[in-house]
Amino acid sequence: MQIFEVAPPAGGPSLALHGGAGGRVEELALEGDGPHAHGLLAAYQAGWRVLAAGGDALDAVCASVAALENDPLFNAGRGAALTATGQAELDASVMTGSGRAGAVAAARYARNPVLLARAVMEHTEHVLIVGPGAELVERHGLEVVEPGYFITEPRRQQLERVLDGRAAAARHGTVGAVARDAAGRVAAATSTGGMTGQADGRVGDSPIVGAGVYARDSVAAISCTGHGEAFIRGVVAHDVAARIRYAGADLAEAISGTVKEELTERGSTGGLIAVGGDGRVVVAHNSPAMFSARGTGPEPALTT
């Protein structure tokens, strides 16, 4: 397991984001690490601008995740992994430290699923909506796109390789962000296209509160990436927060224990990012690699 930690700032904001754990998609990695690093940095700066201006943690994580959804190098939004029938079915969630949450699953019309998840949280009485139609996207003033917008040629090639047995289905492509703002509020957001070649209608952990996302003020905000079914079974995001809240573990200790017991010992891999109530940032994964950006200022530490 690899763990990276950033000490808490003196009352200032903190931000971390991930672009997925595991290996790179061959068709998307021909230019090396440069484009991935650029995408991570641009997404980090989108969120940091919000925090630096005194903005809310929720606004920051949504800005970062929306930027990653717009970048076809990452498995969320445009450029998402495709189902076995060649469709893009997108999942996303947001949660604030005050306990509010919203999510969508198998979304096909919102250009930025994370913003639709936020709309579900803020403008409906629901938490999770499956298969939201274009009319719901329009109703909340968000940009509507046709399903083909999300499909890129590199992802078509990846699906072909998986279906004909030349490649394994990637289980780790997800993006997410966590933040603590200057007022001490925390928030988390997660977004994904799921697993290449998955069955139509399959939903992983990303839109499931407590599995792929969780936030509680004064405790932590967590966003996960990895084998979704394992994160659901282990309720991984909530398990980290519970270790802190009920067992008195510090952030790194809680994450290490959860990853070991709920992932490693069960033969699963993945990673997560978290920010504590004090602003400390921890990034951890037991997969071969994990794209991440983390910091307490405008220049983040990057891992690609």
Q: Which residues are known to be catalytic?
A: 174
Give the C-alpha separation, 44 to 52, whole Å: 12
